[in-house]
Amino acid sequence: MYSREKGTRQSRGICCFVVGTGARLGTLVDIRMKDIDLKNGKVFYQHTKNKKLQTANLSPQLVKNLTEYIDMWRVANVEEDDYLFCNVSGEQLSKASLTQGYRQYTKDRGVNKSNIHGLRHTFAREWFLNGGDVVQLSKILGHSTLAMSEHYMNIYADMARDRFVQYNPLDNIARSGAKKTVRRKD
């Protein structure tokens, strides 16, 4: 039986999944239970934009969130071919219904921007701001070229500038007021 609580749990599970992996909407709706390895923290994307099998890591927090989601949403007789994120009949969610459910979820929380692809951008931004590199990001996001991931980096260039100043050795020396001397070896 579908309830608003289950719908909220599913939308939360979907949000956590995208923010935790950077998955695309099209990939997300195709994930089956057999593609998830909670014990080893992995998900195997069978259907990707570039048509290549992709393995993604699941963080410990995402494993916890998925376990809670599965316990709540997928309680009875889960088969390995069942979709991870399904409709109330256990069938594959369409992209449109997932998008609509996400829009309602964000609206209920007072969020005006409700584009699920924005969560992918959130993943990329946070990855970058937390020190992740563009090469790994490109692999994680399944981009066919490094230039695609660099586009994300360019979007956050102003934030990167702030971090550059924060960690720049010359600025840190100036802020500390310390005088550094360089001695010549004779």
152-161 residue pLDDT tens: 666 666 666 6
Say which CATH topology domain 4-158 has.
Answer: hpI Integrase; Chain A (1.10.443)
Q: Please state, in angstroms and rounded to a whole number, the distance separating the CA atoms of residues 56 and 147.
A: 20
Query: How many other C-beta atoms lie within 10 A of the C-beta of residue 21?
Result: 23
Q: Please state, in angstroms and rounded to a whole number, the distance separating the CA atoms of residues 9 and 108.
A: 13
Q: What is the pTM of this model?
A: 0.73
Which tens digits make up the pLDDT trace of 74-124?
Answer: 666 788 999 998 888 888 999 998 888 888 888 888 888 778 888 888 888
Q: How far is CA 31 from the centre of its chain?
A: 15
Residue 123 tokens, joined:
């993943």
Closest CA to 29 of 116, 108, 123, 138: 116
Count of residues making up the chain: 186
What pLDDT was estimated at residue 5?
60
Residue 144, pLDDT above cutoff 60: yes
Residue 1, pLDDT above cutoff 80: no
Q: Beta partners for 55?
A: 44
